[in-house]
């Protein structure tokens, strides 16, 4: 599903024209706090290339999010990830700071979960969240993900949530 809409957001398949918005998003230290820290423009370019290749290979991946009036609001997606050598599909989302606290993460998490389970027929989705990232944990819980376990990933304590079809 290249594009879809929620009540307040449009989601567009990631493409090269999104680079500048992603660079700005990843340079915000608050946004990047639980995402491994700020990323240089060069690192974000590699990130964009990697995630466009994911679309080509798997037919799904990251979307760029905009409000109905076309303002860039963030990025979100479904993506393959190896967790302890097991191939999983993770849900992810990051919003520009001015859009926090208005229910946008909950809205896009619910919509992408529906895309993943109902449209793509994936058997299960996981969310990997820093244990201290309360807003992200709550967004997953509201989308009916269940807490599965905690583990250490890249030196950080994370919790893994899962939802099954």
Ligand X SMILES: CC(C)(COP(=O)(O)OP(=O)(O)OC[C@H]1O[C@@H](n2cnc3c(N)ncnc32)[C@H](O)[C@@H]1OP(=O)(O)O)[C@@H](O)C(=O)NCCC(=O)NCCS
Q: Which is nearer to ligand X, 113 or 136 (CB)?
A: 136
Nearer to ligand X, 115 or 158 (CB): 158
Q: Is 35 a binder of ligand X (CB under 6 A)?
A: yes
Rounded to 5°, angle at Cα 80 from 8 and 149: 90
List the x/- string, 95-134, binding to ligand X by CB under 6 A: x----xxxxxxx----------------------x---xx
CB of 6 to ligand X, least distance (A): 12
Nearer to ligand X, 44 or 136 (CB): 136
| Spatial contact of 41 and 16, defined as CB atoms under 8 Å apart | no
102 Cβ neighbours under 8 A, 6+ residues apart: none
Residue 55 to residues 74, 77, 105, 139, Cα–Cα distance (Å): 18, 10, 22, 25
144, 161 contact by CB (below 8 A): no
Decide: is 6 part of the binding site for ligand X (CB under 6 A): no
* Residue 13 contacts ligand X per CB under 6 A: no
Smallest separation (angstroms) from ligand X to the CB of 58: 20
DSSP 118: I
CB of 124 closer than 8 Å to CB of 83 = no
- 150 near ligand X (CB under 6 A): no
Footprint of ligand X on this chain (CB under 6 A)?
Answer: 31, 34-35, 93-95, 100-106, 129, 133-136, 138-139
């Amino acid at each position: 599903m290249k594009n879809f809409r929620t009540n307040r957001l449009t989601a567009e398949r990631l493409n090269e024209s999104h680079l500048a918005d992603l660079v700005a998003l990843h340079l915000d230290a608050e946004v990047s706090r639980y995402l491994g820290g700020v990323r240089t423009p060069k690192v974000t370019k590699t990130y964009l290339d990697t995630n466009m290749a994911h679309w080509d290979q798997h037919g799904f991946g990251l979307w760029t999010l905009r409000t109905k009036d076309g303002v860039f609001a963030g990025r979100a997606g479904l993506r393959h990830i190896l967790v302890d050598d097991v191939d999983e599909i993770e849900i992810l989302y990051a919003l520009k700071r001015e859009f926090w606290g208005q229910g946008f993460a909950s809205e896009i998490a619910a919509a992408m979960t529906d895309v993943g389970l109902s449209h793509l027929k994936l058997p299960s989705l996981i969310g990997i969240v820093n244990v201290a990232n309360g807003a992200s944990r709550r967004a997953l819980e509201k989308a009916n993900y269940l807490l599965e376990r905690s583990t250490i990933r890249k030196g950080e304590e994370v919790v893994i949530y899962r939802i099954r079809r």
